Amino acid sequence: MKGPVSIGDKLDLNIIDLTNQGLGVGKVEGFTIFVEGGLPGDELIAEIKKTKKNFAEAKAVEIKNPSSKRQISECKYYKNCGGCQLHELDYRAQLDIKTNMVKDAIERIGKLEDVKINPTIGMETPFRYRNKGMFKVGEKEGNISIGYFKNKSHEVVDIEECIIQDEVVDKVLKIVKEYMEKYNVQAYNKKTNKGTIRDIVTRKAKDGSTMVIIVTTSEKLPYKDELIKSLKTVKEVVSIYQNINKKKTPVVLGNKNIKLYGEDKIVDYIDKFKFYISPNSFFQVNPIQTEVLYKKALEYLDLNGGETVFDLYCGIGTISLFISEKAKSVYGVEIVSDAIKDAEENAKLNNVRNIEFIEGKSEEIAPKLLKEGIKADKIVVDPPRKGCDEKLLETIVKIKPETVVYVSCNPSTLARDLKYLDENGYKVIEVQPVDMFPWTMHVECVTLLTRNEDKE
Ligand SMILES: C[S@@+](CC[C@H](N)C(=O)[O-])C[C@H]1O[C@@H](n2cnc3c(N)ncnc32)[C@H](O)[C@@H]1O
């Protein structure tokens, strides 16, 4: 069956919603049109670019009557750059949309009606918030471009500044670009699998100390000393690495790092806890909102110092450390071996002795701990986007902790897992969305569940 629109049609549309990819949603005779560049409340003309059985994709070509929530973007590159999606939407409206996204998932997928969903906690200043930057390096007609990929393409949008990164990053990108142009250093070309520099990665600690990682296709880096000398002129740059990634892969960092200058690691903080950051280590990218999120998780845990707590999917142990002072003992479980090593090192760095980190899958380690008689009074889970494995949810129900705190970066899988827990003896008390990634559609949530004694 053919839909009511064809490629090339230009249609008057009212945008009524936003998808979780940041596309406006319009309807023609009940048929859904996803509109790039459309925001809720816009009356616009959209040109159809693609048609499918149940929907069509279009691009806004003229905004006839803009939504009252529209603003002039602070980013000069937003029209092309695929890094963010919401630069033309007022920040307060972004927070409302995120709250509604969470509410919708909890009600539609989780089938939970009476859950308290708090308004999304936003940032006071939602700019220059990221402590990590990952920039593609490309070449077009002999010109180097460094920036993010264009939306749905592998073309690199050349940027001179990124307003969600620290100003130091702008300086670093300029230096690398000038160096590549001056010494004719080639950008990596994915199609031919040739060239030298693939990506530039930056990591910044709270005190401003910055690590620069130049990702190359081999150990060769022509005029390396000149590059180091130029980067050293930026006083915040305290560490420079070359990372070798020979593989034809979208994964940015390879396994081999060669230190070119300065510190081996930089030290960052969450609250009073210190964390070592090396080129490959995982760390939350928005330090201000991470603290907000963790404080909420700690508040929901309501620890009295006598409890055993499981921190499942613990990464480098940030939540484990954050809650360690208030608990008797913490077990952190994480699948990535290097993250467990970092977690152990971070515990030592902070003189914390009541955490045991275990490498493995949460869904396998939690039943093992239960079998050994180690039971959690309270459990925190912070899984990746796909949510918790059902086997883990089953085990949580068997362990019967009085409180479960669920940290999630994906409202859909959160809602699915909350439904399971709700049907198996837990009550979802409250969900707190936190905006960790302003200008994007991503939202993080922390949820409090308590054991429902009625279902014993
Ligand atoms: C969203 S991150 C959370 C990290 C950490 N809690 C934090 O706040 O920084 C999810 C973590 O789960 C880990 N992971 C993925 N699948 C896992 C599994 N089945 N068992 C344990 N850890 C897993 C990932 O490697 C990643 O470190």
Calculate Rg over the CA atoms of the chain. 24
Establish whether 313 is an annotated binding residue: yes
pLDDT score of 153? 86
Would you put residue 364 in left (φ > 0), alpha (ψ -120 to 50) or beta? Answer: alpha
pLDDT at residue number 272: 93
- Quick one: which atom of ligand 1 is closest to the CA of 294? 8
Q: How many Cβ atoms from other residues are within 10 Å of residue 192's Cβ?
A: 7
Report which residue type is found at 298: L
Q: Give 107 Cα–ligand 1 centroid separation in angstroms.
A: 26
Quote the pLDDT of residue 185: 96
Alpha carbon separation from 280 to 212, 263, 383 (Å, rounded): 12, 15, 19
87 belongs to a structural domain: no
The whole-angstrom distance between residue 444's C-alpha and the CA centroid of its chain comes to 9
* CA dist., res. 198 & res. 186, Å (int): 9
For residue 317, how far is its CA from the centre of ligand 1 (angstroms)?
A: 10
Distance 312 CA to ligand 1 centre (A): 7
Residue 59 inside a domain? The answer is yes
Whether 366 is covered by a domain: the verdict is yes
Identify the segments of the chain with pLDDT beneath 50.
none
75 catalytic? Reply is no
CATH number at residue 104: 3.40.50.150
Residue 235 — φ and ψ, nearest 5°? Answer: -65, -25
**HSE-CB of 354 using CA atoms within 13 angstroms:** 17
Range of the domain at 223: 132-277
pLDDT attached to residue 1: 53
Residue 267 is predicted with a pLDDT of: 94
The 10 Å Cβ neighbour count of residue 7 is 12
Q: In total, how many domains does the chain have?
A: 3
Residue 180's SS3 state is helix
Q: What is the pLDDT of residue 3?
A: 75
Whether residue 2 is contained in a domain is answered as no
For residue 282, the model assigns a pLDDT of: 85
For residue 332, tell me if it sits in a domain: yes
| Domain-embedded: residue 323 | yes
Closest atom of ligand 1 to 315 CA is 27
Ligand 1, atom 27: nearest CA belongs to which residue? 315
> What is the pLDDT, as a whole number, of residue 452?
87
Helices 167-182 and 224-232, packing angle to 10 deg = 150
On whether residue 152 sits in a domain, the answer given is yes
pLDDT in tens, 139-192: 988 899 999 998 888 899 999 999 999 999 999 999 999 999 999 999 999 888
Residue 416 lies in a domain: yes
Cα–Cα distance for residue pair 243/216, rounded to 1 Å:
6
Per-residue pLDDT, 43 = 96
- The whole-angstrom distance between residue 409's C-alpha and the CA centroid of its chain comes to 8
Distance CA 174, CA 72 (A): 26
For ligand 1, atom 26, name the residue with the nearest CA: 315
Ligand 1 site, CB within 6 A? 282, 284, 313-315, 318-319, 333-336, 339, 361-363, 382-384, 409
pLDDT of residue 281: 83
Q: Do 270 and 339 belong together in one domain? A: no
Q: What is the pLDDT of residues 350-392, one digit of tens each?
A: 999 999 999 999 999 999 999 999 999 999 999 999 999 999 9
* Dist. CA 282 → ligand 1 center (Å): 10
